[in-house]
Amino acid sequence: MNILVSIKRVPLPGEKIILTKDEQEIDTKYLGFAVSPHEECAVEEAVRIVEKHGGSSTVLTLGTEDAIAQLHEAMAIGIDQGILLETDRSEWNAMATAKAITSAVRAKEEEGEKFDLLFFGNESADIGGYQVGIRVADALDIPCVTGVKEIEIEDGMARVKRKVSDGSEIYEVPLPAVFTIKEGINVPRYPPMIGKMRAKKKPLARIEPEWSEDGVEKIRLKTPEERGSTVEILGEGIAAVPRAIEVLKELGVI
Partner 1 sequence: MILGLIEHTQGALSDRTLETLTLARILAKDMDTPLEAVSIGEEVSDVVDELLAYGVSRVHLVQHEGLKDYAPDAWAESIVQLVEAESPAAVFAPGSERGNEILARVAARMDLPMVSNCMEIEPGEPFKITRTRWGGSLLEEATYKGKIKFFTVAPFSVTPKEVPVEGELAQNPVTPTLNDKDFLVRVTKLVQADGGGMSIADAPVVVSGGRGVGSVEGFAVLDELAELLGGVVGCSRVATDNGWRSHAFQVGQTGSRISPDLYIACGISGATQHWVGCVGSKKILTINTDPEAAMVTKADYAIIGDLHEVVPALSEELRKMK
Q: How far is the CB of 228 from partner 1 (least distance, A)?
A: 10
Shortest distance, CB of residue 96 to partner 1, whole angstroms? Answer: 10
Residue closer to partner 1, measured from CB, 194 or 254: 254
CB nearer to partner 1: give 61 or 122.
Answer: 122
Q: Which is nearer to partner 1, 39 or 80 (CB)?
A: 39
Phi (first) and psi of residue 104, to 5 degrees: -65, -40
Contacts 24+ apart (CB under 8 A), 135-140: 135/94, 135/95, 135/98, 135/99, 135/102, 136/6, 136/98, 136/101, 136/102, 136/105, 136/178, 137/177, 137/178, 139/98, 139/99, 139/102, 140/102, 140/105, 140/106, 140/176, 140/178
CB nearer partner 1, residue 139 or residue 204: 139
The SS3 call for residue 194 is helix
Least CB distance to partner 1 at residue 235 (A): 6
Q: What is the rounded distance in angstroms from the CA atom of residue 164 to the CA atom of residue 64?
A: 36
Give dist(CA 9, CA 218) in Å, integer.
19
Beta carbons of 116 and 176 less than 8 angstroms apart: yes
Task: Please report how close the Cβ of residue 254 comes to partner 1 at its closest, in angstroms.
Answer: 7
86 vs 150, beta carbon nearer partner 1: 150
As measured in angstroms, the least distance from the Cβ of 118 to partner 1 is 14
Query: Least separation, in Å, of the C-beta of 7 and partner 1?
Result: 14
Query: 174: Cβ–Cβ under 8 A, 6 or more apart, which residues?
Result: 143, 156, 157
If the CB atoms of residues 84 and 99 are measured against partner 1, the closer one turns out to be 99
Helix-helix angle 94-110:132-140, to 10 degrees: 40
CB 78 within 8 Å of CB 50: yes
**What is the amino acid identity at position 59?**
V
In angstroms, give the least distance from the CB of 191 to partner 1.
14
Q: Which amino acid is at 248?
A: L
Question: Of 26 and 205, which has the nearer Cβ to partner 1?
Answer: 26
